Amino acid sequence: MLIIGIAGGTGCGKTTVVNQILNELPEGEVSVISQDSYYNDTSHLSFEERVQINFDHPRSIDFDLLVQHLKELKQGKPIDQPVYSFVQHNRTGDTIHTLPRKVMIVEGILVMSNPELRDMFDIKIFVHADSDERLIRRLKRDITERGRDINEVLSRYQNTLKPMHEQFIEPMKEYADIIIPNNKYNTVAVDIVRTIINERL
């Protein structure tokens, strides 16, 4: 099993890169695990308390479960990924049954910040995008898809997102095997990743 970790700041375009990689690979041989599915269960908190959580700090992620699930997949066992609701700031109770594949892509802003998880990656990719561009994308997504208002998004960006990015995400570049600039010139980097995967398949 080839395990690829894809990290980068919020709105950097990780999903776009994942889709570009998946685009030309054989169907059914690659599976994606999203860090977003592994936010801690916050059922014991009220909605008001959940809203106050710093979701951009590594403490907000259940890395123990994510590492355990990846180990089980490596052993050829299927897993049940939690399903997370960004509207409720909590797991929904549903799960996604995920089968082991020849290639597993693990993506999320903080996936390289956990040493145990990072050591499981055969290829580590960091997607880089300009901070203004990331903020614009984050604004559009949170307002249209997650029902946030502009003041809430900007306040969260200033108070938690930006400082957490500088503390926990940007420094992870040093562990990356490949840094992909997220612009129209990133096709070469994506082709290289795709070639490596095809060789392993």
Residue in the structure block whose two tokens are 């040493």: 115
Residue in the structure block whose two tokens are 């979701």: 55
Query: Are the CB atoms for 69 and 63 separated by under 8 Å?
Result: no
Domain residues for the domain of 67 are 2-191
pLDDT of residue 122: 95
Question: Residue 197: inside a domain, yes or no?
Answer: no
Q: Which helix (H) or strand (E) holds 33?
A: strand 30-34
pLDDT of residue 32: 93
Query: Are the CB atoms for 6 and 110 separated by under 8 Å?
Result: no
CATH code for the domain in which residue 95 is found: 3.40.50.300
Q: What's the rounded Cα separation, in Å, for the pair 9 and 56?
A: 10
Question: Residue 201: inside a domain, yes or no?
Answer: no
User: How big is the CA angle at 8 (ends 7 and 11), to the nearest 5 degrees?
Assistant: 125
pLDDT of residue 192: 86
Question: Residue 139: inside a domain, yes or no?
Answer: yes
Q: What's the rounded Cα separation, in Å, for the pair 164 and 184?
A: 27
Q: What's the rounded Cα separation, in Å, for the pair 57 and 126?
A: 18
The string of pLDDT tens digits covering residues 161-193 is: 888 889 999 999 999 999 988 765 667 888 888
Q: How many domains does the chain have?
A: 1
pLDDT of residue 185: 60
The string of pLDDT tens digits covering residues 1-23 is: 999 999 998 877 888 888 888 88
Question: Residue 198: inside a domain, yes or no?
Answer: no
pLDDT of residue 120: 97
Q: Identify the segments of the chain with pLDDT beneath 50.
A: none
The alpha helices in the chain, defined as continuous H runs, are 14-23, 47-51, 63-74, 115-119, 131-144, 150-156, 162-164, 187-200
Neighbours of 130 (CB within 10 A): 13
Question: Residue 196: inside a domain, yes or no?
Answer: no
